[in-house]
């Protein structure tokens, strides 16, 4: 199933977000502040992923998308990159069975061709095993970049279409070729760690998401912090270009 752009419909603002997307940032600074190696922050970050996945499932949130490794993160020291890859492998080994038992569907999106064959196999198997689960769809963005996503969508779409009609494609057609076409656009975007930027995360899909920034480093993020972000989201009026009066009338009517 694909979802049309959220800009076409107005969800009630007091509702729970259907889709939360998070940039998990601040692992390195969390560790440095404790005189620990940066890796200790990444390891603690994996524990927080487990807890936040559970918390989202408990709250009935349908989609959780986590930015784990960006297209640009290859620029980090080789040692940190290889430690992150190893951590990804161990997390999959340890968590996929549990996730499956909890009814979680796992997706990994990004340019996976750059990962080693073992990791690619693990990803394919984990996705296959959990494909029919319906509690929560957890998407891990790995070697993902928003620009990569738009580019690969355009290329895929043009390769499928015939040359005469291909220039007339619509927004919806393009959206259906994005790596996360199976999910609605994020209602709530959270970035931990104090930076207020997108860092090439979901560029297309964040067009009308509500943004929430917290100084809290990802290893310190918890259920309480998640609830604060959701509470902030619920106070926003999502207008999607309309006036406030139009939104109030629409809510009264429904």
Q: In the set 52, 53, 64, 68, which binds ligand IPE (CB under 6 A)?
A: 68
Confirm or reject binding of residue 108 to ligand IPE (CB under 6 A): no
Q: Give the residue nearest to Mg ion (CB).
A: 25
Rg, Å, the chain Cα set? 19
Write the burial class of residue 200 (CB in 10 Å: 0-12 exposed, 13-18 middle, 19+ buried): middle
105 is in an annotated binding site: no
Sheet holding 136-144, edge to edge: 104-109, 136-144, 63-70, 19-23, 188-191, 210-213
Write the burial class of residue 100 (CB in 10 Å: 0-12 exposed, 13-18 middle, 19+ buried): middle
The residue (of 6 and 56) whose beta carbon lies closer to ligand IPE is: 56
**Partner whose binding site includes residue 67, from ligand IPE, Mg ion, none (CB under 5 to 8 Å by kind):** ligand IPE
- Residues 64 and 57: their CA atoms lie apart, in Å, by 9
Q: In the set 3, 17, 21, 25, which binds Mg ion (CB under 5 A)?
A: 25
223 is in an annotated binding site: no
User: Is 220 among the residues known to form the active site?
Assistant: no
Choose among 13, 3, 1: nearest CA to 187.
13
The distance of closest approach from Cβ of residue 67 to ligand IPE in the complex, given in angstroms and rounded to an integer, is 4
Structure tokens at 213: 């920034």
Confirm or reject binding of residue 149 to Mg ion (CB under 5 A): no
User: Is 121 among the residues known to form the active site?
Assistant: no
Confirm or reject binding of residue 84 to ligand IPE (CB under 6 A): yes
Taking a C-beta distance cutoff of 8 angstroms, is the pair 193, 31 a contact? no
Q: Point out which residues bind ligand IPE (CB under 6 A).
A: 23-29, 67-70, 73, 84, 193, 195, 197, 199
- Catalytic residue numbers read 25, 73
Q: Point out which residues bind Mg ion (CB under 5 A).
A: 25
């Amino acid at each position: 199933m694909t979802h049309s752009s959220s800009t076409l419909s107005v969800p009630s603002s007091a509702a729970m977000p259907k889709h939360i997307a998070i940039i998990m940032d601040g692992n390195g600074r969390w560790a440095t502040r404790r005189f620990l190696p940066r890796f200790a922050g990444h390891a603690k970050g994996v524990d927080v992923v487990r807890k936040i996945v559970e918390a989202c499932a408990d709250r009935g949130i349908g989609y959780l998308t986590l930015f784990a490794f960006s297209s640009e993160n290859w620029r980090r020291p080789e040692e940190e990159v290889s430690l992150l890859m190893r951590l990804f492998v161990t997390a999959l080994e340890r968590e996929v069975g549990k996730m499956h038992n909890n009814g979680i569907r796992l997706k990994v999106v990004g340019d996976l061709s750059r990962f080693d064959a073992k990791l690619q196999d693990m990803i394919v198997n984990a996705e296959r095993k959990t494909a029919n689960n319906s509690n929560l769809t957890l998407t891990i963005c790995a070697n993902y970049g928003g620009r990569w996503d738009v580019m690969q969508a355009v290329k895929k779409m043009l390769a499928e279409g015939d040359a005469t009609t291909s220039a007339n494609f619509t927004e919806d057609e393009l959206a259906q070729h994005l790596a996360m076409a199976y999910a609605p656009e994020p209602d709530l975007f959270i970035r931990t760690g104090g930076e207020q930027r997108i860092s090439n995360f979901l560029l297309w899909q964040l067009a009308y998401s509500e943004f929430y920034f917290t100084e809290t480093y990802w290893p310190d993020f918890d259920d309480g912090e998640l609830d604060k972000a959701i509470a902030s989201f619920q106070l926003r009026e999502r207008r999607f270009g309309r006036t406030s009066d139009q939104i109030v009338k629409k809510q009264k009517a429904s």
